[in-house]
């Protein structure tokens, strides 16, 4: 009887240890710094599907914003400058429009503001679920810095300037 219990205990210990050490446990994104960024499938303003996985190997600033949001608008000129300056170094800025109406409305906004980086949208329910995967976006703008391996390295809630963003972004370019 003793040997049977020893084998059971050893087997249980090995199962627990291996599930942690062998990487069998899947890590879900929480939107927290240090976790993998949640993938998504959204539509750009010409109707093409875009996923976060398409940006692997690049440093991504993922900006959740809305067209009606004044602080969001204040960041746009700096994002445009940053995208022009650092895209060649591997920086991608991706805007995800929340509660901003139809793709046509968003497209008009993008043209008016001369936004030069990808802006994505999607079904409201899908966008709501995506914000939950990123830790529950409670206010816009909220911007995530994602490294070349797809891990979240920084999170900003509220509007920031190019100088503040670049202090973190440069560490990963």
pLDDT score of 66 more than 70:
yes
Range of the domain at 34: 27-169
Q: Which of 2-6, 49-53, 70-74, 93-97 has the least mean pLDDT? A: 2-6
Q: Which of 17-21, 64-68, 89-93, 136-140 has the least mean pLDDT? A: 17-21
Is 20 inside a domain boundary?
Answer: no
* pLDDT tens digits along 7-36: 334 333 333 333 333 333 344 567 899 999
Which of 173, 151, 163, 161 is CA-nearest to residue 62? 151
In whole numbers, what is the pLDDT of the chain averaged over residues?
A: 88
Rounded distance between C-alpha atoms, residue 98 and residue 69, angstroms: 10
pLDDT score of 91 more than 80:
yes
CB atoms within 10 A of CB 172: 18
Is 162 inside a domain boundary?
Answer: yes
pLDDT score of 142 more than 60:
yes
Query: How many domains are contained in the chain?
Result: 1
pLDDT at 28: 54
Stretch 66-74: mean pLDDT: 98
Is 7 inside a domain boundary?
Answer: no
Query: What percentage of the chain reaches a pLDDT higher than 70?
Result: 83
Q: Report the interhelical angle of 70-86 vs 162-169 (nearest 10°).
A: 50
Q: Are 68 and 101 in contact (CB under 8 A)?
A: no
The sign one gets for the Cα dihedral 57, 58, 61, 62 is: negative
Which of 128, 125, 116, 160 is CA-nearest to residue 142? 160
- Cα-flanking dihedrals φ and ψ of residue 86, to 5°? -115, 0
CATH number for the domain spanning 138: value is 3.40.30.10
Which of 146, 142, 164, 166 is CA-nearest to residue 154? 146
pLDDT at 30: 79
- Cα-flanking dihedrals φ and ψ of residue 71, to 5°? -60, -35
Stretch 29-56: mean pLDDT: 95
Is 99 inside a domain boundary?
Answer: yes
Rounded distance between C-alpha atoms, residue 115 and residue 109, angstroms: 9
Is 39 inside a domain boundary?
Answer: yes
Stretch 144-149: mean pLDDT: 98
173 against 2, higher pLDDT: 173
């Amino acid at each position: 009887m003793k040997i049977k219990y020893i084998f059971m205990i050893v087997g249980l210990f090995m199962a627990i240890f291996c599930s942690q050490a062998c990487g069998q446990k899947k890590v879900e994104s929480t939107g927290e710094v240090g976790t993998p960024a949640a993938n998504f499938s959204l539509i750009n303003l010409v109707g093409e599907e875009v996923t976060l996985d398409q940006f692997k190997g690049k440093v991504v600033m993922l900006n959740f914003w809305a067209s009606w949001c004044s602080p969001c608008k204040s960041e746009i000129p700096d994002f445009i400058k940053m995208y022009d300056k650092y895209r060649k170094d591997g920086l991608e800025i991706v805007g995800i429009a929340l509660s901003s109406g139809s793709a046509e409305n968003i497209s008009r906004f993008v043209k008016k503001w001369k936004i030069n980086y990808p802006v994505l949208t999607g079904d409201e329910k899908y966008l709501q679920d995506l914000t939950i995967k990123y830790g529950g976006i409670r206010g816009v703008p909220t911007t995530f810095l994602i490294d070349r391996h797809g891990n979240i390295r920084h999170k900003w809630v509220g509007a920031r300037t190019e100088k503040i963003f670049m202090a973190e972004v440069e560490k990963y370019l």
